[in-house]
Amino acid sequence: MANRYAVVTGAGSGVGRAVATALLQNGYSVALAGRRQDALEETAQLAGGNSLVIPTDVSKPDDVKALFDRIASEFGRLDVLFNNAGTGSPATNFGDVTFEQFSKVIDVNIHGMFLCANAAFRMMRDQSPRGGRIINNGSLSATVPRPGSAPYTTSKHAVTGLTKCIGLDGRAFDIVSSQVDIGNAETPMTARMAKGVLQPNGTTAIEPTMDAANVGKTVLLIADMSLDANVQFVTVMASQMPSFLGRG
């Protein structure tokens, strides 16, 4: 298609900014969604291209409805959702995790991801020509946990189930789903890696990171595929990070 339209949630920084930049610099019109308008505007300025800045709290149904209403009004269709907005919590032994900590993570990482995917699915189903691609940010925590990460790891395991259900239910409407599991992309959320983070054996170790632009390239590769092909799951990680391959 000559004109391709996407939305990136959590587009104000980190992985979201990297993916939005990759899409904008390769011909996509992109709706930039996130809680902070100033950060979204900075992404738009840095990336160039044709973007819409739409402040959005993905955990709020009314905000998500307004986001997709605006996309429908301004773009007229949607080809790609990068469902990226997420949050974590301080490393806490499971016995000390509070309900409030757990709920805060679930509200964004699961409820927010559901709301955005659900709205995108309906738009892709009902548009002409129908179809589109929903790409969820899974994280390595969708496969293996870090110590003290019960809220985040639980949410990311749930993303895998959501991704599979979207792909299965989307077959009848030419809607495909993918999950990108990211390990140690260099973002504000991983700045703590440089100071050392807790390892499964109880030690603390500095962990290598990778340029978040690698995630942007990966999402662009998936987004550019025709809808009769898909990368269902892919892992993009810092090649030297210690806590995924092998035993630790």
Longest CA–CA separation in the chain, Å: 55
Dihedral (Cα; 214, 34, 113, 148), 10-degree rounding: 70
Instruction: Take residue 26 and report the two structure tokens written for it.
Output: 């390769």
Burial zone of 127 (CB within 10 Å; 0-12 exposed, 13-18 middle, 19+ buried)? middle
Amino acid at 176: V
Instruction: Please identify which of the residues 4, 11, 152, 175 carries the catalytic annotation.
Output: 152
Cβ contacts of residue 188 below 8 Å, gap of 6+?
13, 14
Nearest to 16 by CA among 32, 35, 27, 5: 32
Burial zone of 98 (CB within 10 Å; 0-12 exposed, 13-18 middle, 19+ buried)? exposed
Q: Is 152 a catalytic residue?
A: yes
Instruction: Take residue 43 and report the two structure tokens written for it.
Output: 């992404």
Q: Are 51 and 29 in contact (CB under 8 A)?
A: yes
Q: Are 87 and 16 in contact (CB under 8 A)?
A: no
Q: Are 23 and 7 in contact (CB under 8 A)?
A: no
Q: Would you name the residues annotated as active-site residues?
A: 152
